[in-house]
Amino acid sequence: MLALTILFDGIIYASWLFIVALGLTLIFGVLKILNIAHGSFYAVGAYVTASFVSWSVGAGMSPAWSLLFMLLAALAVSLLLAPLVERVLLRSFYGRDEVLLVLVTYALFLILEDVTKLIWGAVPYYVTEPYMLFGVLDIGLMSYVGYDFILIGFAVVCGLGVWWGLNRTRTGKIVLAVIHSNEIAASMGINVSRVCTLAFMFGIFLASLAGALTSPMISVQPGLASGVIIVSFAVVIIGGLGSIEGAAIGAVIVGLARALAVHTWPAAELFSIYIAMAIVLMFRPEGLFHRIQARKI
C-alpha cells in the first residue's frame, strides 16, 4: 500500500512539474537560453490566477468559472509579459556568450520577484475553490482529490500536443529548422526572430499554465519561483536538455524520488531530488535523452 501511495503522489507531483520543464526545454531548444527566470513566470501565473479566482468568487460567480480564469491568466502572462521580455531584454543578447544570458535571466528573476511583492504583497493567497470541483476519488483504501487527476490529464495533453505540433505540423517543422540552425533557417526565408518570439511566448505560457493549475493546491506567496526553478532544472538535466521525452521521464524520476522521501524520510525531501540527479548523471552525464547529433526537442 505504501508503494502505491508513493507512486500516485509521485505522478501527481510530476504532472505539473513536467508542464514547467516542457516550457523550459522548448525555450532552450529554440533560443539556446537557460532561462533562470522561468520559475518567476510560473509564480506570476499563480498570482494572476489567484487574483482572477478571488475576484470571481467575490462577484458571486460559480467556482466552475475559475477553470476558465486559470487559462485566461496563463494567456495573459504569455501574451502581455512574454513578448515584452523577449523583445526588449533578451533579443539584444542573442548570439552572445551563454554565461551572459544566464546572468541576464537571473537578473530578470530578481526583478520579477520584487515586482510580484510590490503588486501582491507578502501575504499568502489561498484559492481552494477550483480544487474541490471534482470531488474525491477512492482508490482502494486511499482517497484522492479528483482535481489531482485532472492535473495529470493536463500534463499528458500538453506533452502530446507539443510533440505533435513539432513533429506533425508545418509550423513545427519550421521551429525544428530554427533549432537545427538559425543561419540555415534564415537562408531558407524563415523569420527567425518571429519564431524565437513565438517559442518564448509558448514556453512562458506553459510555465504560467502550470502556476495557474497548481495555485488551488498551494499557498501562493513570495519565494514560490525559486523552489520551482530548482526542481525544473533538475528535471531537464536528468532528462537531457532539449528533449520532450527527457522532460517527461525526468519529471517522473523527480516526482517519485520526492514522494519516496516524503513518506519515508521527510527531512530529505529536497535532498532526494539531488540524489536522483547525481545518480543519473554518474551514468549519463549528458542526461538520459541527450543527442549527439543536431539538438532537437
pLDDT digits (tens, 9 = 90+) for 30-79: 988 889 999 999 999 999 999 999 999 889 898 889 999 999 999 999 99
How many angstroms separate the CA atoms of 81 and 200, rounded? Answer: 11
Confidence of residue 296 (pLDDT cuts 50, 70, 90): very low
How would residue 294 be classed by pLDDT, with cut points 50, 70 and 90? very low
Residue-wise pLDDT for 237-276, tens only, equals: 999 888 899 999 999 999 999 999 999 998 888 889 999 9
Residue 39's domain comprises 2-283
Residue 290 domain flag: no
293, part of any domain:
no
Q: Total structural domains in the chain?
A: 1
- List, in order, residues 6 or more apart from 97 with CB less than 8 Å away: none
In a domain, 201, yes or no: yes
Is residue 291, in this structure, part of any structural domain at all? no
Question: Distance between CA 4 and CA 174 in Å, rounded?
Answer: 43
Return the percentage of the chain with pLDDT > 90, whole number.
71
Convert the pLDDT of each residue in 28-38 to its tens digit.
Answer: 989 888 899 99
Looking at residue 140, what is its pLDDT?
73
**Confidence class of residue 94 from pLDDT cuts 50, 70 and 90?**
confident
C-alpha to C-alpha distance for 39 and 101, rounded to whole angstroms:
16
Enter the pTM of the model: 0.94
pLDDT (average), residues 183-209: 94
Place of cell 517522473: 252
CB 281 within 8 A of CB 237: yes
Task: Give domain status of residue 292, yes or no.
Answer: no
Distance CA 194, CA 14 (A): 31
CATH number of the domain enclosing 173: 1.10.3470
Q: What one-character DSSP code corresponds to residue 291?
A: -
